[in-house]
Amino acid sequence: MKAFVQRHHDHCPPPVCWRYGAGVWNGHTLVGVVSVGRPVARMLPQTTWVEVNRLCVDRSLPDTLRYKACSTLYAWAASEAARRGFDRIITYTLSTESGMSLRYARWKPEHVTRPKSWNSRSRQRTDKTPLVPKIRWARDLKAARPALQD
């Protein structure tokens, strides 16, 4: 999976680690992958939420082979998170990306982040992703509990 992300993701390197992931195939051709891990933002719940850290497809393939690959991977990631007992799943897109595949998979935009560097005086880092606003998308996984009857 790391090699696929390294070759095909537009603006991020492969994630360091993940909880689970999957790929979408068309016959013998790997079309796309998804990796799901803990939320990167440390202020978010680390044990009840998960985050799609990477999702990418091979854009060199014809559109007909990639058709609905992203929305299928997002839907699968949410379904698997629910099966594993998580309350919520999130991901981020660049503000310049449409998020259409997330909408198809029934995710909702909920927050726009400010561009922020990972570099600081106390911990020198090189930014590996674009410093632009990002949209946080989410999907609640726990069914609403019915109200108690009197």
Q: Which of 82, 33, 41, 39 is nearest to 58 (CA)?
A: 33
Query: Whole-prediction pTM value?
Result: 0.82
Cα-based torsion angle of the residue sequence 69, 40, 93, 134 in order, rounded to the nearest 10 degrees: 180
- Write out the chain's pLDDT in tens, 150 residues: 777 666 767 766 667 778 999 999 999 999 999 999 999 888 999 999 999 999 999 888 999 988 999 999 999 999 999 999 999 999 999 898 899 999 999 999 999 988 776 666 776 667 666 678 999 999 999 865 455 555
* Residue bearing tokens 């082979």: 65
10 Å CB burial of residue 29 (0-12, 13-18, 19+) is exposed
Q: Report yes or no: 66 and 24 within 8 Å, Cβ to Cβ.
A: no
How far apart CA 56 and CA 23 sit, in angstroms, is 10
> What are 61's two structure tokens?
């393939």
